[in-house]
C-alpha cells in the first residue's frame, strides 16, 4: 500500500462535520479528474515520494503514527481517503491497520469515487461515495454500484460548481435509481468566496433538482471556512 500523508484535522464535509479525525491519505488513483485537488497523491512524479507499507513492521509504524497524530486532536476516527483508497482494500497491511484500530474502538470512515467494487465493506463504519459524474459518467457500472448499495451506512456526495454538474448528478441518480439514498451536494471551491458562489448555485437549482424526486442535503466545507487542511 502507498501512503501519501497522515495528519489531524476536523471533518469538514458531510454528515460527520466537526468530528475530530486523522486523515490517512493513500496514494494512487484510477481516475484523473482535471480539477482534482490532491493530484500529489497520484501523479507520476509524486509516486516515488510516497511511503510504501508492505509488511507488519511497516504497518505497525503507521499505526504508531496514526495514534500519535490522533492524540493531538483527541481523534478516534480515521478518514481513509486518497487518491482512491479502494484500490488498496485487499492489501493485508491496510486490513491489519483497520482491524487494529477497530479493536481499540476507533471508527473507520472512507471516501471513495465508487468505481472499484467494494469487497470488504464490513471494514468501513461509514462510506462517502463521491461519483465523478462529469468526466467519468460512463465508468460507473451497475455491478460495481450494487456492491456499494449493499453497505448499510453510506452517503452519496456530489460536487456541484455549475449547472452542468446539476444535470450530471440528476442523470446519475436516475441511472442507478438512488432516489431513496442519502444524497449530499457539496459546493465546489477551495476559497470561501468560491464556496459561496457554488452554494448560491445549488440553492438556485434546488426546486429544479427536487422536481426529479431527489431529496438532498447541502454539505459544508467547514475546513475551508476555518482555514485548516
The contacts of residue 180 (CB under 8 Å, 6+ apart) are none
84 counts as binding ligand SF4 under rule CB under 6 A: yes
Window of 5-13, 16-24, 80-88, 192-200 that interacts with ligand SF4 by CB under 6 A: 80-88
In angstroms, the Cα distances linking 181 to 54, 97, 216 are 37, 30, 9
Under 8 Å between Cβ of 94 and 124: no
Window of 7-15, 81-89, 181-189, 195-203 that interacts with ligand SF4 by CB under 6 A: 81-89
Helices (H), the chain: 56-73, 92-103, 133-136, 142-149, 163-176, 192-210, 222-225
Shortest reach from residue 202's CB to ligand SF4, in Å: 19
* Rg (alpha carbons) of the chain, rounded to whole number: 17
The contacts of residue 16 (CB under 8 Å, 6+ apart) are 77, 109, 126
Under 8 Å between Cβ of 223 and 191: no
Shortest reach from residue 76's CB to ligand SF4, in Å: 25
Q: Report d(CA 229, CA 224) in Å as an integer.
A: 7
66 counts as binding ligand SF4 under rule CB under 6 A: no
Shortest reach from residue 140's CB to ligand SF4, in Å: 12
Of the candidates 33, 47, 116, 218, which one interacts with ligand SF4 according to CB under 6 A? Answer: 33
Task: Answer positive or negative: Cα dihedral of 62, 64, 65, 66.
Answer: positive
Which CB sits closer to ligand SF4, 70 or 186?
186
Residues 112 to 131: which contact ligand SF4 by CB under 6 A?
113
Local structure of 56: helix, strand or coil: helix
Q: Report d(CA 216, CA 181) in Å as an integer.
A: 9
Which CB sits closer to ligand SF4, 14 or 82?
82
27 counts as binding ligand SF4 under rule CB under 6 A: no
Of the candidates 12, 27, 70, 83, which one interacts with ligand SF4 according to CB under 6 A? Answer: 83
Window of 13-21, 78-86, 162-170, 210-218 that interacts with ligand SF4 by CB under 6 A: 78-86
Which CB sits closer to ligand SF4, 132 or 188?
132
Residues 132 to 151: which contact ligand SF4 by CB under 6 A?
132
- Before 102, cis peptide (omega within 30)? no
29 counts as binding ligand SF4 under rule CB under 6 A: yes
Which residues in this chain contact ligand SF4 in the complex, by CB under 6 A?
Answer: 29, 31-33, 36, 38, 82-84, 113, 132
Amino acid at each position: 500500500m502507498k501512503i501519501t500523508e497522515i495528519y489531524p484535522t476536523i471533518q469538514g464535509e458531510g454528515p460527520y462535520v466537526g468530528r475530530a479525525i486523522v486523515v490517512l491519505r493513500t496514494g494512487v488513483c484510477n481516475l484523473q479528474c482535471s480539477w482534482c485537488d490532491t493530484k500529489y497523491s497520484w501523479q507520476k512524479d509524486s509516486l516515488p515520494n510516497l511511503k510504501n507499507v508492505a509488511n507488519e513492521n511497516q504497518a505497525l509504524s503507521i499505526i504508531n503514527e496514526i495514534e500519535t497524530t490522533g492524540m493531538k486532536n483527541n481523534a478516534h476516527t480515521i478518514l481513509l481517503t486518497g487518491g482512491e483508497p479502494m484500490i488498496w482494500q485487499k492489501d493485508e497491511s491496510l486490513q491489519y491497520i483497520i482491524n487494529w484500530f477497530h479493536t481499540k474502538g476507533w471508527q473507520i470512515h472512507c471516501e471513495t469515487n465508487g468505481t472499484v467494487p467494494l469487497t470488504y465493506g464490513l471494514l468501513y463504519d461509514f462510506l462517502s461515495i463521491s461519483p465523478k459524474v462529469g468526466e467519468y459518467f460512463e465508468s460507473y457500472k451497475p455491478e460495481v454500484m450494487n456492491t456499494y448499495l449493499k453497505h448499510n451506512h453510506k452517503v452519496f456526495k456530489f460536487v456541484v460548481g455549475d449547472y452542468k454538474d446539476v444535470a450530471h448528478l440528476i442523470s446519475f441518480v436516475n441511472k442507478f435509481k438512488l432516489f431513496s439514498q442519502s444524497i449530499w451536494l457539496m459546493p465546489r471551491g477551495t476559497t470561501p468566496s468560491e464556496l459561496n458562489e457554488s452554494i448560491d448555485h445549488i440553492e438556485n437549482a434546488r426546486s429544479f433538482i427536487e422536481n426529479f424526486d431527489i431529496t438532498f442535503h447541502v454539505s459544508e466545507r467547514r475546513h475551508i471556512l476555518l482555514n485548516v487542511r
